[in-house]
Amino acid sequence: MVTRIAIIRHGSTSWNQAGRLQGHSDIPLDEEGLEQARKLGLRLAGETWDIVCSSHLIRARQTAAIVAEQLGIDSIWQDARIGEAGGGLIEGTTEAERLEKWGPDWKQQDLGMEPNAAVLARGMSFLEELLAAEPGKQIVLVTHGSFIRQMLAHLLPHMPPPPPMKNTSITHLEFLDGKWECPLFNCIEHLETAS
């Protein structure tokens, strides 16, 4: 019995546009993000989905709400375990600001960022619970770019390291007999067609 998950990065925010790292900062979708979510919902409405799950952060919740409405799904499972990786002191900063403030080795410094191991531990805890509770279901999971990349690198170690995830991109994961497959990656076809 295959469990199918569409793992989706939320729509665009003003901080995405400005190149600011969001982390746990609770930034809403901008106008473009709302439109991206609408196009995503229309695309998914042509398919069969049973459950919509969302991070607790507003940019993911707004994206998930638009999608769930298009799918005719009344309730959204919300869980902080699939929230974005915490950015600590670098939240709200651009790459240029980080370089100016902490220098080129800022990634090696202790700036209060959530460790990868902690992100993976909470993400895997959520996923294992979901798979046990809803085997064989078709699940939409709305979450965040860095979180998705860390999870994919862990679940699919044979794949090259994932590039940055695009806003409202869809990545399909299939779980069967204890193994993960990824038949679709970082797809934004719904944003590339006229609506």
Active site residues: 10, 84
Of 73, 82, 50, 70, nearest in space to 190 by CA: 70
For 82, which DSSP code?
G
Q: Is the dihedral of CA 155, 82, 172, 10 positive or negative?
A: negative
- Side chain identity at residue 167, one-letter code: N
What pairing do the DSSP bridges indicate for beta strands 51-54 and 179-187?
Answer: unpaired
Distances (CA, A) of 163 to 33, 59, 159, 193: 20, 21, 11, 23
Cα(191)–Cα(193) distance, integer angstroms: 6
